[in-house]
């Protein structure tokens, strides 16, 4: 899992690179009734539990294009 902070519509977002897209982990978490920090540094500061939440959400996301943005 490659985590990134990226800019989307003027705001910094926590994401995960999947193939040639970025999955917006903040939006994905919100859609599942959970929350994650908005950027990578805050995720690291939140500790292992937050990282495990990100992993679990991403693993359950599957191939859906929902909450994804192209890298380019």
- Split into its structural domains, the chain has a count of 1
User: What is the value of pTM for the model shown?
Assistant: 0.88
Domain that holds residue 45: 2-70
C-alpha to C-alpha distances, 68 to 10, 37, 49, nearest whole angstrom: 16, 17, 23
Torsion angle, CA of 17/20/26/30, rounded to 10 degrees? -130
Region 13-25 average pLDDT: 94
Three-state SS for 2-61 is: EEEEEEECCEEEEEEEECCEEEEHHHHHHHCCCCCCCCHHHHHHHCHHHHHHHHHHHHHH
pLDDT in tens, 42-64: 999 999 999 999 999 999 887 77
pLDDT above 90 as % of the chain: 75
pLDDT in tens, 27-39: 999 999 999 999 9
Amino acid 16: pLDDT: 96
């Amino acid at each position: 899992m490659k985590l990134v902070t990226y800019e989307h519509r003027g705001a910094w977002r926590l994401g995960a690179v999947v193939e040639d897209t970025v999955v917006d982990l903040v939006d994905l978490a919100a859609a599942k009734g959970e929350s994650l920090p908005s950027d990578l540094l805050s995720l690291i500061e939140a500790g292992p539990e937050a990282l495990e939440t990100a992993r679990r959400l991403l693993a359950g996301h599957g191939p859906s294009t929902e909450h994804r943005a192209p890298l380019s």
